[in-house]
Amino acid sequence: MHILRQIQDAIGRGERATPISVGLKEREFQEMDDEGLFKLYRSLDDTEALSIYRFEGISEKALGMLAEASQVHPVSRASRICRALGIGLWDLVKVGAGGVLGWYLKRYFG
């Protein structure tokens, strides 16, 4: 997923990304190409095997994988409890600060 996001970001920035520039090894590149996860074009500027390919875009299948991976996962019970405790403690701090402010205003201005 990380590689697909890097490819998508590079294309979005208008870069002429190569497999090497996004960190793909030759074996990973072959596997992902066999699955049809991206669209390629050949550039004969370079002589290195992976440098002759440039990414044109990512396929619908890859976009679906990225969308599925970025879905929000359910929040755990522990995180809900910690959040509720944090909110409750913050409310106590606000009440205390309001009491001190009220006392100060009454003493010096009231």
Residue 45's pLDDT is what? 61
Domains of the chain, by residue range, sit at 2-69, 74-110
Q: What percent of the chain has pLDDT over 90?
A: 17
Cut 0.85: pTM above it:
no
Greater confidence (48 vs 26) lies with 26
pLDDT digits (tens, 9 = 90+) for 28-81: 888 888 888 888 888 776 556 777 888 888 888 888 888 887 666 677 888 888
Q: Which residues contact 26 (CB under 8 A, 6 or more apart)?
A: 19, 49, 50
| Strand segments (E) across the chain | 38-42, 53-58
Q: Which two tokens stand for residue 109?
A: 């201005």
